[in-house]
Amino acid sequence: MITNRNTQPTIKEIAKRLKIAPSTVSRALHDHPSISWVTTMRVQKLAQELNYEPNLSAISFKQRKSFNIGVLLPNLSEVFFSTALYGIEDMASTKKYNVLIGQSLDDPQREERILLSMKNSRVDGMIVSVGKNTINYDHFDLLQKCNIPIVFFDCIPERKDIHFTACNLQIGMLMAINKLVEKGITNIALINGPKQLVASKQRQQIYFQGLKKNNLPYDEKLIGFTDLSKKGNQQAMIDLLKLENRPTAIITFNDYLALDAIAIAKEQNLVINKDIFFISFANLPIWEYMDDRPMASIEQFPYKQGEQAAKILFSLIDSLQNDQPIMDYQQIIFESKLIATLQ
Amino acid sequence: MITNRNTQPTIKEIAKRLKIAPSTVSRALHDHPSISWVTTMRVQKLAQELNYEPNLSAISFKQRKSFNIGVLLPNLSEVFFSTALYGIEDMASTKKYNVLIGQSLDDPQREERILLSMKNSRVDGMIVSVGKNTINYDHFDLLQKCNIPIVFFDCIPERKDIHFTACNLQIGMLMAINKLVEKGITNIALINGPKQLVASKQRQQIYFQGLKKNNLPYDEKLIGFTDLSKKGNQQAMIDLLKLENRPTAIITFNDYLALDAIAIAKEQNLVINKDIFFISFANLPIWEYMDDRPMASIEQFPYKQGEQAAKILFSLIDSLQNDQPIMDYQQIIFESKLIATLQ
DNA sequence: GCAATTTATGCAACCGTTTGCACAATTTAC
DNA sequence: GTAAATTGTGCAAACGGTTGCATAAATTGC
């Protein structure tokens, strides 16, 4: 049987014991200059003895700050996101903040529900990576109206008036195409994600630029699309392999798509990294265990993206706290990097 | 430029507008029977119009409840844990609770730091899966003393006086060994995790029972150990393969270990699922993409473990709230299941 | 028609901490 | 030796919502 009234010491408790006012105790605990050395010491000593811990609920109520930030992202089982979360957590813990987590599972309704629930629990700010099916951004605007700053990362809405961190895929993609061309491979396809995604548009544009820089022809047929479901992935790959001039290299929207595409290629008895080559985005740690894997991945630095998104968020929170107007939108863009995954 | 004083409506605001007392508004919003129908309607209508949302900070301060639970686990990039988190999140959201997340990364100091930080932010309870290097449980006891209930899941301390959910590996392991024996494979090894882990002790014991039930001899040499680092995993496997009567089946502590072990086997030109068979715990979704994978995995139902751990936690929180003594330790044990991963 | 009961509302304290202001005590200035 | 400045402390209000108790008004009982 376990029962015991929770009786954490409070400032009043300390004040009563030392026969001084609570306000004096409060100031002493904060090393306020107007409190004498002796009093400060007496207070701090007793606080230590009693294991005093300030009641964060009371403080957050009084200060109108919760010392929580919310993180909303599609899916923590994707290593990309769980890595980003490390970055956020690490930055938050240096600022003595806690992290509330919500997974949207790419479901816009769930996304909205989580967002509102975090708003109501008065998070001081949010870090968001938008789900791939989200088209309506009203609930994000709602949070802004409530003075809850939002910083997006990686999957960001296609708008100018937001704070975000993201990764510029350009260099990675160029290096990838260069690498293929060096090997004499010029028939390069792209399987892209849903057309409404910023990430998709970006990939397509950069893919196009990469071809151009290498003086390769642009063939619309070599661009496939998928909704990123397993079936969609497979179908897109099947369609590409049916082409008259079958591609010998395929750039895939992400690693999970690459897995499906590679599986289809193998079913059709193509030898990976001989008959056909793959280049993917992100960089699953699991690749090293697989024989048939992309020849390279474009690294997008999730830890840094998360960490810096949190940094931006805390600067916004501080500005709001000090009633400073936020003058412009903070946007950090990292450069991607091509990582060879073979050998 | 974005600036705008946050001015969420409060109960006092509503009271002033309707020229009634805040207490009346409060009661009306809760459909208190002593408030007349008309007043209740007037209040609720205005509340809706103003988009009133109760200030959870104020409520949590007053009620001495934060409506947050903390989740502390080793590593969200392991699918097992991120899946468990789903279960927790889903249960929490039905109870209007938020989830604070912390990853220990198997570092006892980080674990303790997160735990104390959650204590100070006054979580109403915690769900914990202990890191594999943790030997000291003092900080957990500390939380209990502060009346913050803890429910453990999966990686649980070896103690009787705790609440937990876990998975009984017995049936899964027996089925696994039976399956191997059916195939005529009797030289079955186990690569186990660190000896101090409950999970390791359990696996070893059940492995032993499984052999016994099948009248197989118990050979100590067939049990390898690893600290679960990549190097440790590889070495354990290399040692096993050096044995005179080389094992033809290997049960691995978890999927990540299986990955390393399989890689070593392949380096030594063994054909997986022909020369040598593997059985693993957990069930990485990624297996289906790999040619060389364990013939079966023992499923441990992370979603259910998380969900039920949360359910227990909320029942404990309720009991504490109502000053009911907690009479005994709630412990839910699920039955594992063997999942064939081939074909 | 007056007391007893019911119904509906308001008052005020409280949760723990912070902070502007007042004020007493001490020191400094001239 | 008195005015001014400095130092150290306390008072009280505030943050937003809840709740026990008092009380006014309406209704019922006899």
Q: Per residue, what are the HEC states of B101-115? A: EEECCCCHHHHHHHH
Q: Does A5 touch chain B (CB under 8 A)?
A: yes
Alpha carbon of A116 to those of A58, A121, A313, B213, B263: distances in Å? 23, 9, 18, 55, 46
The predicted structure's pLDDT at residue A343: 64
Task: Map tokens 């089982």 to a residue.
Answer: A77
Confidence of residue A3 (pLDDT cuts 50, 70, 90): very low
The DSSP element (H or E) to which A125 belongs, if any, is strand A125-128
The predicted structure's pLDDT at residue B325: 73
What is the arrangement of strands in the sheet containing B296-299, beginning at the earlier edge strand? B223-225, B188-192, B249-252, B277-281, B296-299, B337-340
Of A56, A64, A76, which has the smallest distance from its Cβ to B85's Cβ?
A: A76
Residue-wise burial string across A129-139, b where 16 or more C-beta atoms lie within 10 A, e elsewhere = bbbbbbeeeeb
Examine the pLDDT at A2 and tell me if it is beyond 60: no
Average pLDDT for A238-256: 94
CB A212 within 8 A of CB A218: yes
Q: For residues B249 and B189, give the distance between their C-alpha atoms in angstroms, rounded to a whole number.
A: 6
pLDDT digits (tens, 9 = 90+) for B10-21: 999 999 999 999
> How far, in Å, is the CA of A161 from the C1' of nucleotide C17?
37
Average pLDDT for B310-318: 94
The reply to whether the CB atom of residue A61 sits less than 7 A from any atom in nucleic acid chain D is yes
The reply to whether the CB atom of residue B108 sits less than 7 A from any atom in nucleic acid chain D is no
Interface list for A 222-261 with B (CB within 8 A):
259-260
Strands (E), A246-336: 249-252, 277-281, 296-299, 331-335
The predicted structure's pLDDT at residue A113: 92
> Which residues sit opposite A326 in a β-bridge?
B2
The predicted structure's pLDDT at residue B146: 85
Confidence of residue B284 (pLDDT cuts 50, 70, 90): confident
CB A256 within 8 A of CB A77: no
The predicted structure's pLDDT at residue A284: 83
> Which residues sit opposite A272 in a β-bridge?
A276
The predicted structure's pLDDT at residue A218: 87
Q: Would the CA dihedral through B68, B71, B72, B75 be positive or negative?
A: negative
> How far, in Å, is the CA of A255 from the C1' of nucleotide C8?
65
The predicted structure's pLDDT at residue A321: 79
Residues of chain A in contact with residue B68, where contact means CB-CB under 8 angstroms, are 68, 100, 121
Best mutation target among A71, A75, A77 (most B Cβ atoms within 10 Å) is A77
Of A96, A98, A289, which has the smallest distance from its Cβ to B263's Cβ?
A: A289
Of B4, B76, B147, which has the smallest distance from its Cβ to A147's Cβ?
A: B4
Looking at A118-127, B2-11, B309-318, which range is the least confident one?
A: B2-11
Of A56, A82, A292, which has the smallest distance from its Cβ to B120's Cβ?
A: A56
CB B235 within 8 A of CB B201: no
pLDDT digits (tens, 9 = 90+) for B301-312: 999 999 999 999
pLDDT digits (tens, 9 = 90+) for A45-58: 999 999 999 999 99
The reply to whether the CB atom of residue A19 sits less than 7 A from any atom in nucleic acid chain D is yes
Q: For residues A299 and A101, give the distance between their C-alpha atoms in angstroms, rounded to a whole number.
A: 24
Alpha carbon of B270 to those of A24, B244, B273: distances in Å? 75, 16, 9
pLDDT digits (tens, 9 = 90+) for B182-239: 999 999 999 999 988 888 998 999 999 999 999 999 899 999 999 999 999 999 999 9
Examine the pLDDT at B73 and tell me if it is beyond 70: yes
Interface list for A 106-145 with B (CB within 8 A):
113-114, 117-122, 144-145
Task: Map tokens 């494979």 to a residue.
Answer: B185
Examine the pLDDT at B4 and tell me if it is beyond 70: no
The reply to whether the CB atom of residue B183 sits less than 7 A from any atom in nucleic acid chain D is no
* Contact flag A82-B76 (C-beta cutoff 8 Å): yes
* Best-predicted range by mean pLDDT (A306-310, B176-180, B199-203): A306-310
The reply to whether the CB atom of residue B64 sits less than 7 A from any atom in nucleic acid chain D is no
Confidence of residue B145 (pLDDT cuts 50, 70, 90): confident
**What mean pLDDT value characterizes chain A?**
91
CA dihedral B34→B35→B36→B39, nearest 10 degrees, is 180
Question: What is the nearest nucleotide to B38, using C1' and CA?
Answer: C8
pLDDT digits (tens, 9 = 90+) for B78-126: 889 999 999 999 999 999 899 999 999 999 999 999 999 898 888 999 9
The predicted structure's pLDDT at residue A150: 96
Q: Does B273 touch chain A (CB under 8 A)?
A: no
Nucleotides of strand D lying closer than 7 angstroms to a protein CB: 7-12, 14-20
pLDDT digits (tens, 9 = 90+) for A150-198: 999 999 998 899 999 999 998 999 999 999 999 999 999 999 999 888 8
CB B176 within 8 A of CB B338: yes
* Contact flag B57-A53 (C-beta cutoff 8 Å): no
Q: Does A59 touch chain B (CB under 8 A)?
A: no
% of chain B beyond a pLDDT of 70: 98
